[in-house]
Amino acid sequence: MSLATSVAAALRESAKTEAELHGLAEAVEVMKEILAQVSVNPGYKDHTAAASFCHCCLYTLRAILLDWSISTTAVQTMPLAKMPKIEGNAVWHVEHPNCRIFLAEVQSSMRFLTLHSKAFEGYEEANDAKVFCHDRICCCTVDSFDECGGQRWIMLISIPNTNDNSNMSNGSRNDAMDRTGLRQALARYSETSIFAVRKLLSGENPSARSGSFKRAAAEVLGPYRQCYQPVNVPNVEADRPDVTFYMADLKKILCLLAQRCESFLQLLRQPGAPEVRLEAFLAHDECTAGNVLNPLQTQKTLLFYCTFSLLQDTFVSSRSWIPVAAIPHCDLTSCRGGIGAATATFLRRWDQDGLDVPFDVAPGVRASVHLQGFVSDGDSQRAAFSAKGSAGLKPCTFCANVLKRGCAAAERDPNFVTISEHNLAKFQLYDARELEAAIVAWLARKPAMTKHEIDLRERCLGFRLDADGIWGCGTARRKLTIDMALNDSMHCYFSTGIVNTELVLFLGQAWKVAKIKTDDLLETMKAAAWRRPGKPSAVSELKRLFGHQLFGEEIYKGSAEQTKLILPLLRWIAEAWLQRMPSMKESAECFLALCRCTDQLQLCNAETRWSTLEQAQCHHQRLFSALYPDSVRPKHHHRLHLSQQYEKLKMQISCWGVEAAHQSYKKCFADNFDHLLQPGTEGMYSRHIMPRLLLRYMEMCNETPFLTNGFQLLSPFDEAAVESATGIKDASISAKCRTHVMEIKENDVLLWGKERDQGGIIRFFLVRNNKLFLYATPLELRDKTEATRTFSSKALAAQELYKKGWKYQKSEKLWYLEHQPQVGEPRWYVWDPNTWERKDARPQDFSSNQFLTEEEVQVRFPQMPQ
């Protein structure tokens, strides 16, 4: 049976009416015609890829036709082989009475067809097609890459709605939009793009949006626009109007979120609690979209986000960070007081909204919001509090006696230390009330002081006397005190952080003493065949990580994610090779101490009171300061405060999720609204972009719901099938399980234990009585080093290069080597994804409530379907 015939047969099973069957038949014929055309086209190098593409689109039709009575909307990701390079004819446009298909190479200028997805991570590996369906229009996009470059392909499928009202005019019928589908489309594309695609698929030329379409879009966006309110900041030019930006009415956002996102509402419903206290954390960061090298930075925007401790299990995901305000850089430069003034204005409106007084969120649910902290990178933190930062004598926001590197005052007075100091006991923290009183008193005297007197006080204090910022606003000072500011581990270590610095210093020393180049390291990695989970090869990724353009003179220029990826590879090199060279011993030991710090960022917790992180960081600070005294940066000191902050909060919080949330702005909406950054459109950019960011946020929360119990089986066998196959009642089984921020599937390796020295190969998951069991082949630890864990199970030999934290992404392996496994005898484990406690399952775990007897456990479980 041919591919098209087999797919058609599967689709016909879901058809409900003769009209559906007719439409399906026409669609199948179109697919056959395309397959026939590509099969004779000499430009195609891989016919299987073309067949896979058609199969992908055919499969998508099923999503549209499952419920023909309404216009459905779905977003699906489907595996697809790499599309080959086409020479000659690259476009097919086939029309049938009930189906229109357009397949073409897409140019980058066609913005409305741009694929909004993750960056492609491997040229030689299979990519995912992104399929977007709306109102019987299927849009399937795929990126095709080869060693010389890449192209983007798109397939559009249009199927007429057989249930259209015959009395409806052609214009009304074309503009009629399913509101649910339109809402999901607006979360990804601009209004102009959506309207243009609909017109193209209906055989018409794109024109200005019709009135009915504009009204439909306004109706969809209305609830989200109502969640934001204008606020004003005085203009730096007294004769100019105030700068206006839009910030969230958090009460309305929470009500809308509870209404549109059922999983969030379930998190708010706490048994026995008359109301929920939401402990909020604020973050803001300047995000640059478009050409980051453009000196005008027209698309640079200050974005505010808010999250709650209730969402701490997903802090590393963008789903935890609600967009609450935005100010484009061109407006920010016109604010008197800059970022500090914008932050103070935000806090004043927050206070006026009375969020700390309980209010109704949903029927039977009341909540209050209490600001607990402000997490950001060093630049945003300094700007918010008008701190001098690295430009001043005191680069730390929290320490009164820590001076910049090389300051002679630390040598003359034992009460002072520099940022090179590793002993936390020598740091004298500011008293928040005393600091506030001093700054407020000097602000009152500022008009009578000379410029020299002002500069002297600012230099000694470490803060600017800015009356337009937080220090000049009593409400802002009360809502956000200096001890509520939080340093961010991602920026301290991975985003132009200390890891980026030491990578270059370490490899520079390797070149200096042993003439080892990055090209040599790359060849070593390729020869060892390190690869990432689920990918047959990592050659392309290794080439990018070790590319010459990422190695600057003083810093590794890769992104935070790239820095995190290259670190464990260099750790392996340092441990297995460079550490054994006498001339590299000190540098390697310091680098390995840095790697232990990054380990503890993931391994430390409330049980250890985060002391292991503090110890590892102090040890590395001492080694680094002695080995590279002229390269100590303020971030080396800033990270020393992390353990104390985590201890105070009883949890970790960082900007990984904020950085992920930035992608919605960068990839989806920055280009769509850049026309609102022209002179005369002040305030319009913020007004229009915030509702769209909120809409996208809620759609993401619905696509990947929050988990109240910490886990969810994906595509499970139903309970009847499980009972029939195993005799187990009221149980579900699946080969995949989703936890808070990751998916774990069959054949994944799961590591546990304090030293991550225990592991198992996942076979499948079982849920009964809301308890998660996993059936796994245990692995025996053969060898353990700082960089690797080697496990075995009979003929299995696998080296696990663990790096990701157990708390959030505990089964993900950044890099690994393995031989073909021969599976040993699996065992059952009871697993709690919330605490990530794993223990052997006991017979009583299964036999309780007539589950299974101990004998049945031994006999039946190995025969269960996977």
pLDDT in tens, 182-201: 888 888 888 888 888 877 77
pLDDT reported for residue 120: 24
Q: Which range among 123-127, 265-269, 283-287 shows the weakest confidence by mean pLDDT?
A: 123-127
DSSP 105-163: EEPTT-GGG---SPPP--TTS-EEEEEEEETTEEEEEEEEEETTEEEEEEEEEE---TT
What value does the mean pLDDT take over residues 389-402? 87
Can you give the length of the chain in residues? Answer: 866
Whether 325 and 230 have beta carbons less than 8 Å apart is answered as no
pLDDT reported for residue 533: 66
Q: Dihedral of the CA atoms 507, 509, 513, 514 (nearest 10)?
A: -10
Arithmetic mean of pLDDT over the chain: 75
Q: Is the residue at 402 inside a domain?
A: yes
Are residues 22 and 52 part of one domain?
A: yes
Q: Predicted confidence band at 30 (pLDDT cuts at 50, 70, 90)?
A: low
Residue 156 burial (C-beta neighbours within 10 Å; 0-12, 13-18, 19+):
buried
Between CA 374 and CA 396 the distance in angstroms is 16
Are residues 242 and 273 part of one domain?
A: yes
DSSP 379-415: HHHHHHTTB-GGGSS---SSBSSEE-TT-THHHH-TT
Q: Which residues contact 469 (CB under 8 A, 6 or more apart)?
A: 337, 338, 340, 341, 343, 344, 384, 385, 386, 476
Q: Predicted confidence band at 25 (pLDDT cuts at 50, 70, 90)?
A: low
Which residue type, as a one-letter code, is found at position 622? R
**pLDDT, tens digit (0-9, with 9 covering 90-100), for 75-117:** 232 233 333 333 333 333 444 444 444 444 333 322 222 232 2
Q: Is the residue at 485 inside a domain?
A: no
> Above 60 in pLDDT, residue 434?
yes
Q: Which residues contact 548 (CB under 8 A, 6 or more apart)?
A: 518
Residue 451 burial (C-beta neighbours within 10 Å; 0-12, 13-18, 19+):
exposed
Q: Which residues pair with 831 in a beta bridge?
A: 772, 838
Between CA 86 and CA 92 the distance in angstroms is 12
pLDDT reported for residue 9: 53
pLDDT reported for residue 658: 95
Token reading at 245:
């930006």
Q: Which residues pair with 300 in a beta bridge?
A: 288
End-to-end CA distance of the chain: 27
Q: Which residues pair with 760 in a beta bridge?
A: 750, 778
Q: Is the residue at 297 inside a domain?
A: yes
Between 213 and 248, residue with greater pLDDT: 248
Whether 659 and 286 have beta carbons less than 8 Å apart is answered as no
Which of 163, 178, 204 terminates a domain? The answer is: 163
Which of 674, 703, 732 terminates a domain? The answer is: 703
pLDDT reported for residue 423: 95
For the full predicted model, state whether its pTM sits above 0.85.
no
Q: How many domains does the chain have?
A: 5
Look-up: residue for tokens 């009171």?
609
pLDDT reported for residue 47: 45
Between CA 831 and CA 286 the distance in angstroms is 40
**pLDDT, tens digit (0-9, with 9 covering 90-100), for 741-794:** 888 888 888 887 777 788 888 888 888 888 888 888 888 888 888 888 887 764
Are residues 120 and 21 part of one domain?
A: yes
Neighbouring C-alpha atoms within 13 Å toward the C-beta of 168? 12
> Above 50 in pLDDT, residue 820?
no
| Residue 395: C-alpha distances to residues 290, 293, 392, 412, 421 (Å) | 31, 27, 6, 19, 13
What value does the mean pLDDT take over residues 487-506? 96
Helix then strand then coil, % of the chain, to nearest 5: 45, 20, 35
Between CA 67 and CA 173 the distance in angstroms is 19
Q: Is the residue at 774 inside a domain?
A: yes
Q: Predicted confidence band at 153 (pLDDT cuts at 50, 70, 90)?
A: very low
Highest-confidence segment of 21-35, 378-392, 688-702:
688-702
Between CA 438 and CA 445 the distance in angstroms is 11
Q: What percent of the chain has pLDDT over 70?
A: 69
Are residues 356 and 271 part of one domain?
A: yes
Are residues 511 and 441 part of one domain?
A: no
Q: Predicted confidence band at 124 (pLDDT cuts at 50, 70, 90)?
A: very low
Q: Predicted confidence band at 296 (pLDDT cuts at 50, 70, 90)?
A: low
Q: What are phi and psi of 366, to 5 degrees?
A: -120, 150
> Above 50 in pLDDT, residue 235?
yes
Are residues 566 and 628 part of one domain?
A: yes
**pLDDT, tens digit (0-9, with 9 covering 90-100), for 543-591:** 899 999 999 989 999 999 999 999 999 998 999 889 989 999 999 999 9
pLDDT reported for residue 134: 38
Token reading at 827:
């065992």
What value does the mean pLDDT take over residues 833-846? 49
Q: Is the residue at 209 inside a domain?
A: no
Are residues 673 and 593 part of one domain?
A: no
Q: Which residues contact 629 (CB under 8 A, 6 or more apart)?
A: 420
β-strand pairing of 815-818 with 796-801 = antiparallel
**pLDDT, tens digit (0-9, with 9 covering 90-100), for 768-781:** 888 888 888 888 88
Q: Predicted confidence band at 49 (pLDDT cuts at 50, 70, 90)?
A: very low
Q: What percent of the chain has pLDDT over 90?
A: 41
Are residues 244 and 346 part of one domain?
A: yes
Whether 327 and 346 have beta carbons less than 8 Å apart is answered as no
Residue 220 burial (C-beta neighbours within 10 Å; 0-12, 13-18, 19+):
buried
Q: Which range among 286-290, 512-516, 853-857 shows the weakest confidence by mean pLDDT?
A: 853-857
Are residues 718 and 699 part of one domain?
A: no
Q: Is the residue at 185 inside a domain?
A: no
Are residues 618 and 745 part of one domain?
A: no
Neighbouring C-alpha atoms within 13 Å toward the C-beta of 582? 0
pLDDT reported for residue 385: 95
Are residues 582 and 664 part of one domain?
A: no
Residue 569 burial (C-beta neighbours within 10 Å; 0-12, 13-18, 19+):
buried
Which of 132, 163, 194 terminates a domain? The answer is: 163
Residue 383 burial (C-beta neighbours within 10 Å; 0-12, 13-18, 19+):
buried
Between 474 and 45, residue with greater pLDDT: 474
pLDDT reported for residue 501: 97
- CA-based angle 171:172:178, to the nearest 5? 130
Q: Is the residue at 550 inside a domain?
A: yes
Domain span at residue 356 reads 228-370+655-703
Are residues 21 and 132 part of one domain?
A: yes
β-strand pairing of 485-486 with 365-375 = parallel
Q: Is the residue at 337 inside a domain?
A: yes
pLDDT reported for residue 805: 27
Between 617 and 36, residue with greater pLDDT: 617
